[in-house]
Amino acid sequence: MVAQTLSDLEKDRVIEMAWEDRTTFEAIQMQFGLKEQEVIDLMRTEMKPSSFRMWRERVQGRKTKHEKLREFEKGRFKCNRQRNISNNKISKRQ
């Protein structure tokens, strides 16, 4: 299991990403190599039972947690409502 090789800091980040509504399981897999079931198992072992049940109820069937179910731009992990940065002199430096 990949979750056993994660550091405590990485586990905290996975849990944080799993709680976020707009972060897909595919994004977590891309960054940490954990499949959806492994994320669920990690959440089950790292959280209090009541917190896990609350999270599980929340994400079950949620369109934003699965890339295939998303209605808006597929392939993006960034929220589509996030503003683009323009006139940023620092990013244009060579």
How high is the pLDDT of residue 60?
A: 84
pTM value > 0.85 = no
What local confidence, expressed as pLDDT, does residue 4 receive? 72
What does the pLDDT profile of the chain (94 residues) look like in tens digits?
Answer: 566 788 999 999 999 999 988 888 888 999 999 999 999 999 999 999 999 999 998 888 777 676 665 555 555 555 555 555 555 555 444 4
Parse the chain into domains and list their residue ranges.
7-72
Closest by CA to 3, choosing from 51, 36, 52, 50, is 36
Whole-number pLDDT of residue 74: 54
Look at residue 81 and give its three-state secondary structure: coil
The Cα–Cα gap between 6 and 46 comes to 12
Torsional sign, CA 29, 11, 5, 3:
negative
Measure CA 52 to chain center: 16
